[in-house]
Amino acid sequence: MGSFDKKYSNTMNTITAAITAVGAYVPDFVLSNKVLETMVDTNDEWITTRTGIKERRILKDKDKGTSFLAIKAAQDLLAKGNIDPLDIDLIIMATATPDMPVASTGVYVATEIGATNAFAYDLQAACSSFLYGMSTAAAYIQSGRYKKVLLIGADKMSSIVDYTDRSTCIIFGDGAGAVLFEPNYEGLGLQDEYLRSDGVGRDFLKIDAGGSLHPASLETIKENRHNIVQDGKTVFKYAVTNMADASELILKRNNLTNEDVDWLVPHQANKRIIDATASRMNLEESKVLMNIEKYGNTTSATLPLVLNDFEHLLKKGDTVVFAAFGGGFTWGSIYLKWAYDKK
């Protein structure tokens, strides 16, 4: 066997994990900045200047939770990709707002979409949940044991937001997105990852009560300790630094320049954080994919919602860099080669 044949054979036998389909869902109700002006002491100019957000979607039905959003996004993916849910091996449910502490939301979603041959579980890393889920899904594919892994990112953030707290209610929205990971033998798909966490962030972005440390009680409810709170300045500082650092490092580690990167898919938390990350990578604005103005921060759903909105731009072989930062703190970057052209 010649050197070319050996190289070709090795490539054909190496499994990489590629995204082969995407889907999404957002609720119909639009919570605009103008509406927020009637709810808290804020205004459209202040919100837009500091966050880049104009609107966010809210799931108004109190009888529906994160699972409803996730099911809709998964069904969208299955329909668009003409995929039989019985062929799915595993469902990873990335979420910070599960329907209930127990049982797993992902397990319920799997059953409801007809993926009865799959096993499922939830993954929680705040706003980095989907990014971490990409790493996890890819590892299952690369092991050779599984052929179809459905990764869903979904959050009903309105369920944990205090709409009298202008520091958080202007930021978050509800939504869901999903991607399918499958084996690839052309060298496409996930190439490298840099994932990190630091418990120093535990007190700066959190829901204080409802867990084992402070179980729900009349006292915790009266003190409003079941909604998300954050130290905005501290979170912003860490987010800007770490998202930018991780994205820069993934380029250097893979000998990539800004010219090599086709698209940046950043977590949609704040336009200033996104701009800082793009600046560190020396990327022109046209390569930065953003929909934060429409949806706000949907936590686990931001990355797949971006992929869904801009799927038509992504071409087979494109170099795509993902970046995220979340409470905990959690953060990282993933380098991926896009695997298909939208039909």
Superfamily of structural domain 190-338: Thiolase/Chalcone synthase (3.40.47.10)
Tens of pLDDT, residues 121-154: 999 999 999 999 999 999 999 999 999 999 999 9
Tens of pLDDT, residues 158-201: 999 999 998 899 999 999 999 999 999 999 999 999 999 999 99
Tens of pLDDT, residues 202-226: 999 988 989 999 999 999 999 889 9
- Confidence grade of residue 9 (pLDDT, cut at 50, 70, 90): very low
Domain ranges of the chain: 16-187, 190-338
Tens of pLDDT, residues 12-32: 579 999 999 999 999 999 999
Average pLDDT, the chain: 94
Selected residue with higher pLDDT from 40 and 65:
65
Cis peptide before 239 (omega within 30 of 0): no
- Confidence grade of residue 231 (pLDDT, cut at 50, 70, 90): confident
Q: How many Cβ atoms are within 10 Å of 291's Cβ, its own excluded? A: 17
Q: Is the pLDDT of residue 1 over 50?
A: no
Check if 16-187 and 190-338 are the same fold. Answer: yes
Topology classification of domain 16-187? Peroxisomal Thiolase; Chain A, domain 1 (3.40.47)
Active-site positions?
Answer: 127, 267, 297
